[in-house]
Amino acid sequence: MTIQTVGVVGAGQMGSGIAHVLALAGYDVTLMDVHAEGLGAAVQKISENMDRQVARGAIVAEERAHALGRIRTTVNLPELGTSDLIIEAATEREAVKLKIFGDLIPHLKPETILASNTSSISITRLAGRTERPEQFIGLHFMNPVSVMQLVELIRGIATSSETFEAVSAVVQRLGKTAVVAEDFPAFIVNRILIPTINEAVYTLYEGVGSVIDIDLSMKLGANHPMGPLELADFIGLDTCLAIMNVLHEGLADTKYRPCPLLVKYVEAGWLGRKAGRGFYDYRGKVPVPTR
């Protein structure tokens, strides 16, 4: 199957980023979100990010104009049903994703492929609720989508070779590199990354080091471009906690127990950059540690 039209569910950071790279690669994109104001903000963000690409010579102004012209928006989920490929990029909660796919099913054309950008949830389990598990796949982009080169491809137990090949061709057309991950909790990247962040939070919780010292240690001692607590704020502490819970529940191993301090920050609504506060406070000119 040749994919030309793509629907994206969710106009947040990931969904807008996915729409951005798809449109630049020549796909006709329909971006859907239940909040009309979120769609407006997403298109504005895409436009600004493309402006930056033009400024640094990554694309030319004509490419930007054509790409923006390929993106349409809607608040009506059924309108995505005629797409060749639909990518769900909603919040990392299984119930939300299952409802989206359940609502989509009656409106899909027979050949439509469904994909989830989930960073941790079982593709097999999601696919089993769609009545077309052979045409379902995990397509996990990294954040920020327009910058990061990696995409994880995750087959469910029933994913067909035709589906895998069609979606692999999309990744190749985007100019990104695909890795194939087995369908186990959190796949490859987050199976390694999020427990590392969780351990950094434990290191803070136990008083081994301060926020600044933990991040500085990993930047200068392990040559990481960003400290683990700073990275957690960038990802979103709610997302980090959700992935840790998937690992803990899915693998039944106490080494994946979420740190109580991470739980406390999420309960407080201190979710990181998007909330203005996390392990750092971003409400001033310069981020300052909150602990």
Residue by residue, DSSP assigns 194-257 as HHHHHHHHHHHHTTSS-HHHHHHHHHHHS--SS-HHHHHHHH-HHHHHHHHHHHHHHH--GGGP
Alpha-carbon distance of 35 to 33, in angstroms, equals 5
Q: Which CATH architecture has domain 191-289?
A: Orthogonal Bundle (1.10)
198 is a catalytic site residue: no
Alpha-carbon distance of 281 to 277, in angstroms, equals 4
Closest CA to 17 of 89, 96, 84: 89
Candidates 3.30.70.141, 3.90.480.10, 3.30.1490.20, 3.40.50.720; correct CATH number of 5-181? 3.40.50.720
CB 74 within 8 A of CB 36: no
| Total Cβ atoms within 10 A of residue 275 | 18
Q: Which two tokens stand for residue 282?
A: 């971003």
The residue type at 128: G
Q: Which of 152, 198, 230, 248 is catalytic?
A: 152
140 is a catalytic site residue: yes
Q: Which of 16, 83, 117, 119 is catalytic?
A: 119
| Position 59 confidence tier, pLDDT thresholds 50, 70, 90 | very high
- pLDDT of 213 reads 98
Alpha-carbon distance of 206 to 114, in angstroms, equals 43
Q: Phi and psi of 151, rounded to 5°?
A: -135, 130
Q: Which of 16, 92, 117, 140 is catalytic?
A: 140
Average pLDDT over residues 40-63: 95
**Using one digit for the tens of pLDDT, what is the confidence trace for 129-144?**
898 999 999 999 999 9
pTM of the model: 0.89
Average pLDDT over residues 59-88: 97
Alpha-carbon distance of 88 to 106, in angstroms, equals 16
Q: Which of 16, 122, 146, 190 is catalytic?
A: 190
Closest CA to 153 of 122, 178, 119: 178
pLDDT at 1 exceeding the cut of 80: no
Percent with pLDDT over 70 in the chain: 100
Compute the Cα dihedral for 236, 238, 243, 244 and give only its sign: positive
182 is a catalytic site residue: no
| Position 99 confidence tier, pLDDT thresholds 50, 70, 90 | very high
**What is the residue extent of each domain of the chain?**
5-181, 191-289
Q: Which of 131 and 123 is assigned the larger pLDDT? A: 123
CB 122 within 8 A of CB 140: no
Q: Which two tokens stand for residue 287?
A: 């981020």
CB 209 within 8 A of CB 163: no
152 is a catalytic site residue: yes
| 98-to-55, 101, 157 alpha-carbon distances in Å | 40, 5, 17
Within the chain, residue ranges assigned H as helices are: 13-24, 36-55, 61-69, 94-104, 123-127, 161-173, 189-205, 211-221, 228-235, 237-251, 260-268
CB 230 within 8 A of CB 258: no
Average pLDDT over residues 10-23: 96
